[in-house]
């Protein structure tokens, strides 16, 4: 018996994260969850470093900054898979590559970490990677 829940899987799904403050550029992203095995394995590997602080419930600003810094390194390799409409400071379109993405995320994390925080919140929410309206419609039938 199947309940049709495979439609809720976010494995191998992507979503569009809009950047209105960058002339409507869009990042194409994978989930930053356990559904993204390469990303999640790196998070688990790196989390051992912060385990002492977590055991003491001592997640302060320093630890939160370390977690953001880790994601700033991991997102270009494991979460961001493309973009549309992203231009450099001279207004020239930039072709997506992991190296160009690293440069973009480095600059974003330095000058606009609040935007990176929004990106993290978006990619950590699995609902952003499924078409919930489609799922609701199919369950009515």
Confidence (pTM): 0.84
* Rounded Cα distance, 53 and 127, in Å: 30
Position 60 in a domain: yes
The residue among 83, 84, 117 whose CA lies nearest residue 102 is: 83
Burial label for 32, CB within 10 Å (0-12, 13-18, 19+), is buried
Position 7 in a domain: no
Position 2 in a domain: no
Q: Given this model, what pLDDT does residue 112 score?
A: 94
Position 138 in a domain: no
Position 59 in a domain: yes
* Rounded Cα distance, 93 and 106, in Å: 18
Position 82 in a domain: yes
The structure tokens listed for 110 are 């330095």
Domain extent, residue 39, equals 12-129
Position 27 in a domain: yes
Q: Given this model, what pLDDT does residue 135 score?
A: 47
Contact 14, 28 (CB under 8 A): yes
Q: Given this model, what pLDDT does residue 47 score?
A: 75
Q: Given this model, what pLDDT does residue 140 score?
A: 55
Contact 122, 29 (CB under 8 A): yes
pLDDT string in tens for the chain (141-residue length): 889 888 899 999 999 999 999 999 999 999 999 999 999 999 988 876 555 555 555 667 777 788 889 999 999 999 999 999 999 999 999 999 999 999 999 999 999 999 999 999 999 999 999 986 554 554 555
Position 6 in a domain: no
Number of domains in the chain: 1
């Amino acid at each position: 018996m199947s309940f049709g829940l495979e439609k809720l899987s976010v494995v191998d799904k992507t979503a569009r994260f809009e950047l209105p403050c960058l002339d409507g550029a869009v990042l194409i992203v994978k989930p930053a969850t356990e559904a993204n095995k390469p990303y999640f394995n790196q998070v688990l590997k790196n989390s051992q470093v912060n385990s002492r602080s977590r055991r003491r419930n001592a997640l302060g600003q320093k630890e939160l900054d370390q977690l953001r810094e880790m994601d700033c390194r991991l997102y270009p390799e494991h979460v961001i898979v493309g973009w549309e409409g992203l231009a450099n400071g001279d207004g020239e379109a930039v072709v997506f590559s992991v190296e160009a993405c690293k440069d973009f995320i480095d600059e974003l994390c330095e000058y606009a970490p609040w935007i990176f925080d929004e990106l993290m919140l978006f990619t950590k929410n699995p609902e952003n990677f499924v078409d919930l309206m489609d799922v609701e419609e199919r369950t009515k039938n």
